[in-house]
Structure formats: structure tokens, C-alpha cells
Structure 1
């Protein structure tokens, strides 16, 4: 079972924490990565690493109501949470607020000042907009008292009459609702109730649906192309994608598989790299979400998994994310996750790359890194003339990621940056701890559940639960945790109930099922445990091969058999290439004028059985033929060994 908490631990003097099973109270913040704490058992003071701290949970604490997943809030609920946040924002900006300040804002908002205090306390404890969304339990102001049928009638009429390019009026909606209620022999709601439903629709959304996109942009979208000065760490993050100018190879066969895509995020204030994501898949909302979730979370475990030494102290929730207008930055999952974490997602104006100068320069730095690697593709085709990138490729995707992260952590972060006058690492530490001229902002809160942060930024699917479990992309998943929900029906709609499911595209052997009973995620794996772990990229490649073979209705056995077949073809091609090169080296060692026997002469091609329309196999054959035309004295290609020591 995976916890779903989105809480953050604020490290400051007086805060009680645990480390390695012992309880401490923080007495001093020494550096951005260490604190001085007093052992509550022995009274001794000890220096502790921030990464190893966690919150103290008392056994007697009352279990709080479980948080709902972001995708499960209705548009109305979310809009109310945003409205409440707007009301308390002036109070959040006041370092010393008084009761009179609260009463003044409450009077203007038309609510009691104690209500404002309640909202303020809820937001300060959680740091999330979702804490301001009205709970379902109990009757509240604005609560909808109409039955499901009437609500559905109103919704349908609003969509048909009001949210259309015909631009029907509110009175048109009222008249049509009354007409349909008469036919259905239902008591029609009052015109006030119907108009209230219309007023609940976000104005920008209504304008777009009514054919007034320009007005929606001009009136409600943030001013693109500019943002307030980035004056402290994580005040502004810029994020973008770029194709990596290097060919990577398969981990098993070491044969080239193409150019990966790199997603990078940079902290504008300090020039510290906040996060990255490297994948064979084209830029998508998944890449953006995984890069941002990595930027929010600590990276100690990530560095350890890659085998990279050094420190990467960037973590916490950023104030703003600045990006371009690409569609991957406009997904509903990303927008809602940013809203819930209090992140202002801003878009820069089209054809104005100078507004994203910081991330563009970082992309240029990454491009220069790739130029020093085997398999580089250069920036222009003419520069690549005479250089066979595929033949020279030697690094796997993981080796490239480790090399890039090592460069960032141990070179880029430690080199003086002309934009800030010091190293990005020094600028980050000064921003948190302060200097002789500027105060620091203190340590940013630490996410207590990194997996939950990652899941919040991942796309989701909705599926019904069958006796076999559920199916995603023709692959079946099952776990006993699904048993209580087999063939369950929604009591309101009387239709099959759908459940929320998320997954990591890098490893689709496991998915995450949201249990509605306790709002916790559970890991649900393949129903057939014998299938190998694969990425979504491999699954899509197998689907493409089957499509080219003329197969449409395929099952999971065919999909995994195709993945195995493609992997085996690459292995066979590699072995054939090695044998051909060995034969050519033997021929080169014979005395001049001595010809080999016909049976010993190497063949000019290496046949690989495949479908005629399998372009990937033709590509392998072409590369093998080119390899046989190389210099006979050339040494066999050996895997590139990445040195992570500096």
C-alpha cells in the first residue's frame, strides 16, 4: 500500500523531527543541507542531514480525513477552493497580520472573520488548494440540494444552449429547463438556482465555448512573456525540451536505437538545475510532470541509483513555472497539480524565445556536453558529414543520464556562472541561508511522500474492475486489493463504476490503483507475472510492428512475443556483426597473395528473417553491411565505459 500524503515537513528551530529512529528538536539551521538538533532522549546535540529528517507522528493522534485525489474534484469544488485562496492571499502576504486585517477582508468578502481564520489555518497546515475545497460531509453554503436528475437536466441544457457558438442567454436556459421538466413531470428548479449554475462556470471557459477565444485570452490568461523578478530560490522555474544531439544504444545488444529527448528545469534566481527527465518518447505532459516532480523532491536516492556522487540540494515547491505554449504544458493533469501545489503556471508569448533565455542557455550547455560524446549528431547536417553517428554510438540511455547528471552536479553547479557572479550552488545556499547583504528565505519544506508527488503529476486513466482485474493498452493487471470492487456499480448512475489508475511510462509492469475506501494508492502488477518489465516506448514499438504486419486485434501474448522477437533480432544482428568482423580480421592477417578458401570468405550481407515491411530490421541489415565495408584492421566496437569519477 502506498501512502498518499501530500504534506511537507518544514525544518526550522523548535520543530520536532525523527532521524534513524530517534526523536530530536531542531535548535539551529546550520547550512541548507544540515541542522543542529537536540536528542529528546539523551539531551545531546547532534548535526543531522536534512534529507534524513521526517515528521514525528504520535500514536494517539487522531487520523485525519484522507485527501481525495486531484482528479476527483469537480470543477465547482475546485473553483470554490480557488476563490477561497484568493480571499486569504492578502493575509498570507502579511508577515504580521492583526485581527482588524482579517475582519476588514472578511467584511469585503461577505464572510465571518472566524471563517477566514479557519481557511487560513487549513491552508497554512497543508500548503495546498485542496485543503480549501469544501468537504462533502455536512451542509455548507453553496451546497447543491437538487437531485441527480435535475442537475443532469440543467447541465445538459447549459451545454446545449449556453456553452455553444449560438450564445444562448441565461433566460433561454431557464425556459428550456422548465420545458424539459414539464415533459419529465418533474418540479422545475427556480430561475435563481439555474442562473447560479451558469454563474459557477469559469468565465474564461464560458467565453471559449461561446466562440470568444480572443476575449478569454485577453481578459483571463496571465500576461505572457514576462514574470516578476526571480529574487529567491524557486521563485521562478523555467522548463523546456530538446532532442539530445547524441545516438544511444540498446542496453543488451549495444546497437543504436535513436536520439532521446531531454526535459530540463532551471531555477532562474540561482541558475541551479532543478530537475531533468531523459526518455526515448517525444515531449509530452508525462515528461513535464516527471521533471517537475523531481524538481520538488529530494534527489539523494536518485543520485544513488545512478551511481553519481556529490550533492544536488534543490527541492521544494516553486512559486512559478514558466514555459512555452506547447500542448504538453497544457494538460489538465499538469494544470490541476500545479494549482493544488500553489504553483503559478505561466506561458510565454509565441515566437519570443528571449523570454525563456535562461532555459535556452541551459539547453545550449547540454548541447555542448553531447558534442563530446560518442555517437554525437552535431547541430547541423553539414557538420555531420563524414561522421557515422550510428556506428560511433556507444552509450545507453541510463549511461547518458548518469553522465549528464554527474556533469550537472559536479561541474556545472560548481562552476562560476556569469549570470549570478558565483557558482549556482553558492547562489542557492546564499538564497536559503542569507548573506551579509540579503536575508535568506530558510529551508524550503521537504515533501514527505515523494511517490505521491510523482503520481500527482502523472496522467491518469479510469477503468472498471472485472473478474480478471483491469486492462490498460491490452495488458491485464490484477491484485487481490481489487476484489471488493469487481463489477461494482455506481449507486447514483447505476452504471459500472470507474476507478482511478496511474502508471509510470518508464516501467508499465506496475500500475497504481486508487482505493476509494481509504484514498490510498496500491501497486497492481501484471496479471501474468511471467511477462517482463517493459517501457511504454517498447510497447508502442511492438504495436507499430504488429500494425505493419497487418494485425489489428492483438492480445497481450502477441504484444510481449513481439517485444521478445524484436529484442532477439537485435541480439542476432549483433552476433552476426561480430562474426563478420572476426572473419575480416582473419583475412587481413594472411600473407599477401594468399586467398582464403571459398568456405572461409565472409559474406557481404547478414540475413535476418523478418517481414518485408519491417523497416527496423532493414535498418539493422544496412548497418551490418556498412560495418563489413569498414577498414579490415579496425578493432571491434566495445561498449563505452562512462567514468563517474572526477
Structure 2
């Protein structure tokens, strides 16, 4: 069967649909809006990117794109000169029938010789970009040497053998050796200062490295990468990382302290735009990474509306490289598989080389400075916190904190001048997308056509068989009639084995799972087999299972699990005003309830009731604790 493309590419001339109408794109206005002509009425409409859908019955070709160039390291003065030179030669570049008389006229207007003008044209054509017109420093180029080549060889050899050795000889030792070797070879010895100058030309970093101080050289001189390799256009390289926020949050009901939240952020290296975010009271895990990556790839209009943030965040699309550290949540099979599905190159930061995450770490510092202005901040250390009771002063809920953080990102950080870019990140992003008179833009990033599917692809997955009672995951049973054709099915490759199917689950709300039908290639939502069960999280499930085992029960089934969970919730509600741990548990429960309520509001069809018998109870072997087994990186819900 025909399926929608995962991403919709939009360029001038693209045919798309919006609000049930078909349009042809005529102009890209900015990074998130365009003009398009209705193919039936001829009327021109302004459309936002989140309104666009593919025309599935029309074969569309991919639009061409052009890569931009990162110019952040070029000095403003040099760039202005390059622009002036480009302006001087542009009439020649635009005129295929240019004459020497025209070149001489332009050279006179620019105040240079015509040969210089032709050299600028040659440089521009050979390089293909304006930075080729940046002026070179005057005078003798650094490193140019006037000594006899044999003398130079003697100096170089002495420096390598003595000064740059692990024995760490002094410059005076090098001077003595050079003069002795020159005398022995019948050559005029160089002045001592000449030899010292040769030594000074060696970088301190190289000196330390060659003298056996490699680690110190790296820690001292390795940059917190300002120029990341190949980050030459928007979404070329995205860095992702976590940090605990330096602020104490409160629960929504009693406004009592909960603890510190965790922030997962993704940043586009080219523009320094924050492209994705996830905020949670849970420690970094598979789910927080998956939420952040999917948030980065999706348009943000719905997310901002749900938060009540009235700002623009015109960032979405598929990154080419996702750069992360070596934490276990980034090393799992599921993340790598999801990235491969979308053509994302997952690259892990070299071990013990934290500087490779410089962009995201610098932004974490920027965000921390903003967080230190909030009530309940813990500041960066105990010394700064002296005389300040963070828990007593805490006032923000998790939602309010996320709202404030997003307001800061989209309303302040994205719009103020970035010290390395010499322009705001938003402006840099727009230049990369739209281009300007000096460089072409990449074009509007392709738009995800199925946000739900994209989110699912970054959720934890499991393999399960389909039985008469449905599917079972962690002793919880799920059923919908969509499972009926697959009951008791055999593995196509081995008819003696039951066939396994892919199941995905959001650990924050396990009242439903998502079943992948291999024939239709569609995920279906499958709810609890017993729809009267309350929505719970996987963390509640695990705690309930632990308590059941502690009570000595050998059989675990849904009735026991949910009975235990209801007891736990009642106990938490009674203790919520007494302990921070109980308030954190209550906050987790409330999150699960909200997610379940949100899902119910978008359901259009009630699940069919099962006519099959209840599944058998499972006996728990007391000597095997499945919840104490090692967790595979990024393949779990934790």
C-alpha cells in the first residue's frame, strides 16, 4: 500500500496541501512561513509550515538544496573588506560578455589596478565563496626563513632531538649543539637569537605534547569546540546533553518542595539555536533522550501552545549528525536504530575528551545563569548558597519552570547577539535556511508528516507474541481486536516457533501500548484488556512488584498489582505533606494521569471487548529477581 513520506520537502514550486486545499509554493518568506497559490482558484495564501501536508497522489521530486558556510571565525573588519571586493567584481560576475574596458572602469571605481581586480575574480571563481576575498596579512609570511637550508636542517634536528624530547633540554643546550654542528660542517653558525626565535615559533601545546605532557597539553589547549567539523549548515550537527537544574521545584497541589529537575537539551552547532528540550523530575534515561530528539525534529507550535508560550520557535527537521557523550542512555541499540531509521549519524564523544561537547556545555552554563535568578535556586555551590534557604524560597512547579525556561530560550537567548556568531542565533538560523545576497540557503527543512510515528520510533521497544488474551508486558495484559488476526501466529522463518511482534510503550503512562502490524506497516494503540484499570507509570509498576515480593507472595497478576498500586497511592496522598519523597511520587502520578487524560481526549473509537478467557497467572521464582537484573543501555524504560 502507498504510504506518506516521513518528511515533506518544501521548495519554490513544490505542490503541497493545507487545510484540505492543494497549493503550489511561490515564495519562502522566512524560516517558517511561505506564500502559495491555490491550484484551483489561483488565490495566493500565506501558510505556516505546521499546516503543510504532502500530496500523496502526486509524485513529487525532491527540491535541490545548497549548503551555507559558517563564517563565525572571520573578523568583522576582514569580512567587510571581502564584501567590498565582492561588490567591486559582482558586475563582472553577472555579465557573461564583460570587456576589459568595463573591468578597467570598475577597477578605477574601486581604487585598484585592473590586474588586482582580475585576481579577485580568479580567487572567487576558484574558491566559490566570498571568504576567498579576505585580505592576506602584509609583510613576509610567518614561517618564512632566510638561512642556508643546511643550517635550517641542523637547527630543526637539534630542536627535535633535544628541546622536544622527554629529557626536556633547555634552549641553551640547543644553541650549543647547533653551533657545534655548524662548526663541524664548515657552516657559518646562526645567531643565538635566531635559534631562540625558531624555538618560540613552536606552539606551547606542541612543546608540552612532545615533551611528554600530552594530557596537560590537551586539557590546557584543546578548545571547547567553537568550530565543530562539518557544522556548515542548519541541522548538520546537533549536540545533546543533560544537566540537573540548580533550582528546587514544588508540587502543584500543596506547593511544597519536590527537588531538582533534570533538563535534556539539543543545540544546533551551526546556529547555536536550541532545537529540542525535555524537562523531567526523573534522572536521564531512554525516555528523556527520546523525548528531546523527537521534540527537536518536530514543529513546536503545539508544544508552545500547550505550555502557554506566545513566542515563535521556527525549528524542526532531521539532523544529519547527532553528537552525544558516552553515557549509557546514548549507547543503546534502540537510539542507534531509531537514528538509522531517519538517516541520522549518531556520533559519540570520545571518552575523556569533554571539550568535544563544547557548544551544548556552554549553553548549559548560559541556562544555569538564568536559573540562578529563579526563586528556590541552589546556585552553583555551597559558598554561593550561604544564607539562602532554597527549599523555603522554592515557588515554581515543574510546568512553570519549563514554561520559564522555554520563554528564556525562544524570547531571549535566540534573539540576542551571540559572542561567537556576532549575530543572534535566530538570525544565523534564518541565513542558513534562506540565504542572502552572498550565499545560498539550505531551504526550509523537510517537515515530519506523522508526528505520532516519529515519537513512537524513539520510545523503548519490546518483542512479544500475541495470545488469545492479547499481549502481555510486565504482567499487564493489553487487548484490541486489531490483534485477532495474529493470535497464535507462527514465525515465517521457523514454523515451530511463535511469531514475535514489536511493541512500544511510553513508561510515563503504561495504560496502553503500541502494536506494530507487519502487514499494514502501521502502529495501533492497544489499551489495557481491563479498561477499568487506572493509568500508571512503569516506575509505579516496579515499586508495586517489589512490595509484592517483599510480602512473600509467589503469584503476581494484574489484580494483585493494581490493588498494591492503589494502596501505595493512598499512602502517598496521606504522606504528601510530610516528606519530599512522597511529593515526588505524587508528582509522578499526576504526570501519568495527565498523559492518560490527554490520550483519551484524542481517541475516536472505543476499544473492542475481548471474548477470550483471562490469561494464566505467572508464578514468580523467588530465587530470580527480574527487576534486579542489569539494564541494557537505552533499551529500558528507566
- TM class, shorter-length: 0.5 to 0.7
Partners of 1:402 and 1:548 in 2: CA distance: 41
Q: CA deviation at 1:504?
A: 1.8
Q: Matched residue of 1:507: which SS?
A: coil
Structure 1 pair 482/250, CA: closer, same or farther in 2 (3 Å)? farther
Number of aligned residue pairs: give it.
Answer: 424
Q: Match of 2:15?
A: 16
Q: Matched residue of 2:294: which SS?
A: helix
- Once structures 1 and 2 are overlaid, which stretch shifts more, 236-245 or 562-571? 562-571
- Do the aligned residues in 1 keep the contact of 2:66 with 2:441 (CA within 8 Å)? no
Q: Match of 1:484?
A: 485
- Do the aligned residues in 2 keep the contact of 1:433 with 1:440 (CA within 8 Å)? yes
Partners of 1:414 and 1:445 in 2: CA distance: 24
Give the unaligned 5+ runs of structure 2.
68-223, 586-638
Q: Match of 2:182?
A: none
Structure 1 pair 528/389, CA: closer, same or farther in 2 (3 Å)? farther
Q: CA deviation at 1:56?
A: 1.5
- Do the aligned residues in 2 keep the contact of 1:280 with 1:537 (CA within 8 Å)? no
Q: Matched residue of 1:38: which SS?
A: strand
Q: CA deviation at 1:455?
A: 1.6
Q: Match of 1:572?
A: 574
Structure 1 pair 618/369, CA: closer, same or farther in 2 (3 Å)? closer
Q: CA deviation at 1:5?
A: 4.9
Q: CA deviation at 1:545?
A: 5.0
Q: CA deviation at 1:555?
A: 3.2
Partners of 2:352 and 2:573 in 1: CA distance: 45
Q: Match of 2:465?
A: 464
Q: Match of 1:30?
A: 29
Partners of 2:247 and 2:554 in 1: CA distance: 34
Q: CA deviation at 1:433?
A: 0.7
Partners of 2:309 and 2:563 in 1: CA distance: 35
- Once structures 1 and 2 are overlaid, which stretch shifts more, 268-277 or 325-334? 325-334
Q: CA deviation at 1:47?
A: 1.5
**Per-residue Cα deviation, 1:437-463 (whole angstroms, up to 9, x for no partner):** 322111111111111112222221011
Q: CA deviation at 1:268?
A: 0.7
**Per-residue Cα deviation, 1:578-634 (whole angstroms, up to 9, x for no partner):** xxxxxxxxxxxxxxxxxxxxxxxxxxxx8x9xxxxxx956999xxxxxxxxxxxxxx
**Per-residue Cα deviation, 1:260-293 (whole angstroms, up to 9, x for no partner):** 3211100011110010112233222332222112
Partners of 2:353 and 2:256 in 1: CA distance: 39
- Do the aligned residues in 1 keep the contact of 2:258 with 2:583 (CA within 8 Å)? no
Larger radius of gyration: 2
Q: Matched residue of 1:508: which SS?
A: coil
- Once structures 1 and 2 are overlaid, which stretch shifts more, 27-36 or 376-385? 376-385
**Per-residue Cα deviation, 1:122-152 (whole angstroms, up to 9, x for no partner):** xxxxxxxxxxxxxxxxxxxxxxxxxxxxxxx
Q: CA deviation at 1:572?
A: 2.7
Q: Match of 2:536?
A: 534
Q: CA deviation at 1:300?
A: 1.0
Partners of 2:564 and 2:407 in 1: CA distance: 35
Structure 1 pair 250/538, CA: closer, same or farther in 2 (3 Å)? farther
Q: Matched residue of 2:510: which SS?
A: strand
Q: CA deviation at 1:298?
A: 1.0
User: Residue 513 of structure 1: which of 515, 522, 526 is its match?
Assistant: 515
- Once structures 1 and 2 are overlaid, which stretch shifts more, 517-526 or 436-445? 436-445
Q: Match of 2:424?
A: 423
Structure 1 pair 571/232, CA: closer, same or farther in 2 (3 Å)? same
Q: Matched residue of 2:497: which SS?
A: coil
- Do the aligned residues in 2 keep the contact of 1:237 with 1:267 (CA within 8 Å)? yes
Partners of 1:516 and 1:385 in 2: CA distance: 60
Q: CA deviation at 1:42?
A: 1.1
Partners of 2:519 and 2:268 in 1: CA distance: 39
Partners of 1:240 and 1:551 in 2: CA distance: 42
Q: Match of 1:404?
A: 405
Partners of 2:272 and 2:457 in 1: CA distance: 26
Q: Match of 1:560?
A: 562
Q: Match of 2:499?
A: 497
Structure 1 pair 537/305, CA: closer, same or farther in 2 (3 Å)? farther
Q: Match of 2:51?
A: 52
Partners of 1:362 and 1:399 in 2: CA distance: 21
Structure 1 pair 474/337, CA: closer, same or farther in 2 (3 Å)? same
Q: CA deviation at 1:395?
A: 2.9
So what's the TM-score if we normalise by structure 1? 0.60
- Do the aligned residues in 1 keep the contact of 2:297 with 2:316 (CA within 8 Å)? yes
What is the CA RMSD across the aligned residues, in angstroms?
A: 3.2
- Do the aligned residues in 1 keep the contact of 2:572 with 2:583 (CA within 8 Å)? no
Q: CA deviation at 1:512?
A: 0.6
Structure 1 pair 492/442, CA: closer, same or farther in 2 (3 Å)? closer
Partners of 2:344 and 2:51 in 1: CA distance: 26
Q: Match of 1:290?
A: 291
Give the unaligned 5+ runs of structure 1.
62-90, 95-223, 578-605, 609-614, 621-646
Q: How do residues 230-249 of structure 1 correspond to structure 2 at under 5 angstroms?
A: 230-249=231-250
- Once structures 1 and 2 are overlaid, which stretch shifts more, 9-18 or 279-288? 279-288
Q: Matched residue of 1:495: which SS?
A: strand
Q: CA deviation at 1:551?
A: 5.7
So what's the TM-score if we normalise by structure 2? 0.61
Partners of 1:393 and 1:538 in 2: CA distance: 26
Structure 1 pair 33/617, CA: closer, same or farther in 2 (3 Å)? closer
Partners of 2:50 and 2:297 in 1: CA distance: 13
- Do the aligned residues in 1 keep the contact of 2:65 with 2:443 (CA within 8 Å)? no
**Per-residue Cα deviation, 1:511-550 (whole angstroms, up to 9, x for no partner):** 1100122111000112222222233344344445556666
Q: Match of 1:625?
A: none
- Do the aligned residues in 2 keep the contact of 1:253 with 1:571 (CA within 8 Å)? no
- Do the aligned residues in 1 keep the contact of 2:65 with 2:442 (CA within 8 Å)? no
Q: CA deviation at 1:254?
A: 3.9
Q: CA deviation at 1:432?
A: 0.5
Partners of 1:34 and 1:619 in 2: CA distance: 41
